[in-house]
A and B are shown apart, each in its own frame.
Chain A
Amino acid sequence: MKVLVPVKRVVDYNVKIRVRADGSGVELANVKMSMNPFDEIAVEEALRLKEAGTATEIVIVSIGPAQAAETIRTGLAMGGDRGVLVKTDGPTEPLAVAKILAKIVEEEKPGLVILGKQAIDDDCNQTGQMLAALLGWPQGTFASKVSPEGDGLTVTREVDGGLQTVALKLPAIVTTDLRLNEPRYASLPNIMKAKKKPLDEKSAADLGVDVAPRLQVLKTVEPAKRQAGAKVGSVAELVDKLKSEAGVI
Chain B
Amino acid sequence: MATLLLADHHEDHLGDATAKALTAAIQIGGPVHILVAGTSPKGAAAEAARLEGVEKVLVASGEIYGHGLAEPFAELLVGLMGAYDALVASSSTTGKNILPRVAALLDVMQISDISKVDGPDTFERPVYAGNAIQTVKSTDAKKIVTVRTAAFAATGEGGSAAVEDISAAGDPGLSRFVGEELTRSDRPELGSAKIIVSGGRALGSAEKFKEVIEPLADQLGAAIGASRAAVDAGYAPNDQQVGQTGKVVAPDLYVALGISGAIQHLAGMKDSKVIVAINKDDEAPIFQVADYGLVADLFTAVPELISELAKTRK
Give per-residue flags for B300-313: 1 if the beta carbon is below 8 A from chain A beta carbons, else 0: 01001100110010
> In the complex, are the beta carbons of B101 and A133 less than 8 A apart?
yes
* A236 close to chain B: CB less than 8 A: yes
> In the complex, are the beta carbons of A229 and B292 less than 8 A apart?
yes
* B111 close to chain A: CB less than 8 A: yes
A128, A139, A215, A232: the one contacting B139 at CB < 8 Å is: A215
Residues of B within 8 A of A196 (CB): none
Residues of A within 8 A of B305 (CB): 235, 238-239
A137 and B288 alpha carbons, distance in the complex (Å): 46
> In the complex, are the beta carbons of B238 and A98 less than 8 A apart?
no
Task: Return A14 CB to nearest CB of chain B, in Å.
Answer: 9
A249 and B108 alpha carbons, distance in the complex (Å): 46
> In the complex, are the beta carbons of B292 and A215 less than 8 A apart?
no
Residues of A within 8 A of B127 (CB): 26, 121-123, 220
Residues of B within 8 A of A26 (CB): 127-128, 132
> In the complex, are the beta carbons of B136 and A159 less than 8 A apart?
no
* Chain A minimum-CB-distance residue to B110: A126
A229 and B286 alpha carbons, distance in the complex (Å): 11
| Of B28-36, B43-51, B57-65, B68-76, the one touching chain A | B68-76
Give per-residue flags for B157-192: 1 if the beta carbon is below 8 A from chain A beta carbons, else 0: 000000000000000111111111111000000010
* B120 close to chain A: CB less than 8 A: no
> In the complex, are the beta carbons of B253 and A249 less than 8 A apart?
yes
> In the complex, are the beta carbons of B276 and A94 less than 8 A apart?
no
> In the complex, are the beta carbons of A248 and B244 less than 8 A apart?
no
> In the complex, are the beta carbons of B132 and A239 less than 8 A apart?
no
Name the prevailing secondary structure of the B interface residues.
Answer: mixed
Total A-B residue pairs with C-beta atoms closer than 8 Å?
257
* A55 close to chain B: CB less than 8 A: no
> In the complex, are the beta carbons of A228 and B288 less than 8 A apart?
yes
A16 and B38 alpha carbons, distance in the complex (Å): 43
> In the complex, are the beta carbons of B308 and A235 less than 8 A apart?
yes
> In the complex, are the beta carbons of A219 and B134 less than 8 A apart?
yes
Task: Return B174 CB to nearest CB of chain A, in Å.
Answer: 4
> In the complex, are the beta carbons of B132 and A223 less than 8 A apart?
yes
* Chain A minimum-CB-distance residue to B92: A160
> In the complex, are the beta carbons of B133 and A162 less than 8 A apart?
no
Residues of B within 8 A of A17 (CB): 128, 131-132
> In the complex, are the beta carbons of A129 and B97 less than 8 A apart?
yes
A93, A165, A178: the one contacting B109 at CB < 8 Å is: A93
* Chain A minimum-CB-distance residue to B175: A138
> In the complex, are the beta carbons of B108 and A214 less than 8 A apart?
yes
> In the complex, are the beta carbons of B270 and A154 less than 8 A apart?
no
Residues of B at the A interface (CB closer than 8 Å) are 67-71, 74, 92-94, 96-105, 107-113, 122, 126-140, 172-183, 191, 195, 220, 228, 231-232, 237-239, 244-245, 247, 252-253, 263-264, 270, 273-276, 282, 287-296, 301, 304-305, 308-309, 312
List, sorted by A's number, 19 A–B pairs whose CB atoms are closer than 8 Å: A17-B131, A94-B110, A123-B126, A133-B105, A142-B97, A162-B180, A162-B239, A218-B135, A223-B126, A223-B130, A226-B288, A228-B289, A229-B292, A231-B295, A235-B296, A241-B292, A246-B274, A249-B195, A249-B220
Given contacts A167-B175, A223-B130, A232-B294, 19 further A-B contacts (CB under 8 A): A17-B132, A26-B128, A122-B127, A123-B244, A129-B100, A130-B103, A133-B101, A134-B104, A157-B93, A159-B239, A160-B239, A166-B176, A168-B176, A169-B173, A214-B138, A215-B137, A239-B308, A246-B291, A249-B195
